[in-house]
Amino acid sequence: MKREEQSVTALVRDGADLIFIRQYREPVGATVIQLPGGGVEEGETLEAACRRELSEETGLTCGRLIYLGSLYAASWLCNEITHVFYSDEVIRQGVQTLMAHEEEIEIIRVPVTESLDAIRDGRIRDSELCCAVLQALLRGLIP
Amino acid sequence: MKREEQSVTALVRDGADLIFIRQYREPVGATVIQLPGGGVEEGETLEAACRRELSEETGLTCGRLIYLGSLYAASWLCNEITHVFYSDEVIRQGVQTLMAHEEEIEIIRVPVTESLDAIRDGRIRDSELCCAVLQALLRGLIP
């Protein structure tokens, strides 16, 4: 079996809001609303990678992270597997520490109900974000 | 703006069952449960492409197709945009007409409740399938 490329994303709920990022994605030529996340580094656990990416991209520190499972973003194209975590325990809002290629990551807070509306009407159409929301809905973590 | 690579997928409900396909996906080195679908050909409408792919991969002919929206499978990696259709009108079950590279597509019927369980526990983890199910849930098309 092939070794998969591992990445992590975090669906964070802070009270009534979900926390997303907005960034320009060159391959699609558009600004896309997504979850904070990124690649797992050598020797890093999935949860540690998730906390690191969350901190770098949003400045957030969370308490308990709940593992929601994994997904194939594009199994017909790449060997990437994305692990999805959820937290509703925002402990601290620090500052972003972005890498050079992440210079333009905007943090947005979207109420849960508006997030679902935005998915339904296509303003949000990122696969990882939608998969994470589905997992959270199926577990009753978001109303 | 870049020209996007267009593809289509179909979430089909036949009574209490959802109809999926199962095929080996070389990039992830695993057999993956997905929706029937594929690329849009030159000059083809999205709906026509969806009906063609559905017929080729499953032998199914459906009545009304409802457009559920589109998603970026992997906007950080490729310019593919996937358009998702839904139908609960199965008119005819014919035979598959697979291309050489699709020789091993198995058609499976999974009750809706079991499908949701399989997503929750990770047996189903294809991004397009999960996004389609989320859209159908948000619209009340599946219970």
Q: Could you report the predicted ipTM of this complex, rounded to two decimals?
A: 0.92
**Taking all residues of chain A, what is their mean pLDDT, rounded to a whole number?**
93
Q: How many percent of chain A have pLDDT more than 90? A: 79
Dump pLDDT digits (tens) for B91-128. 988 888 887 766 689 999 999 999 999 999 999 999 99
Query: Rounded to whole angstroms, how far apart are CA atoms A89 and A21?
Result: 18
Dump pLDDT digits (tens) for A53-109. 999 999 999 999 999 999 998 888 888 999 999 999 999 888 888 877 666 899 999
Interface residue B140 vs chain A (CB under 8 A):
no
- B4, B74, B121 member nearest A74 (Cβ): B74
Interface residue B80 vs chain A (CB under 8 A):
yes
CB A70 within 8 A of CB A83: yes
8 Å CB contact of B139 and A120 = yes
**What residue of B is the nearest CA neighbor of A143?**
B138
Dump pLDDT digits (tens) for B28-80. 999 999 999 999 999 999 999 999 999 999 999 999 999 999 999 888 888 89
8 Å CB contact of B72 and A130 = no
Residues 6+ apart with CB under 8 A from A108: A19, A20, A21, A22, A33
Interface residue A101 vs chain B (CB under 8 A):
no
Query: Rounded to whole angstroms, how far apart are CA atoms B21 and B105?
Result: 6
**What residue of A is the nearest CA neighbor of B76?**
A25
Query: Rounded to whole angstroms, how far apart are CA atoms A121 and A140?
Result: 22
8 Å CB contact of B122 and A28 = no
Strands B80-87, B5-14: parallel, antiparallel or unpaired by DSSP?
Answer: parallel
8 Å CB contact of A1 and B29 = yes
**Structure tokens belonging to residue A10:** 């975090």
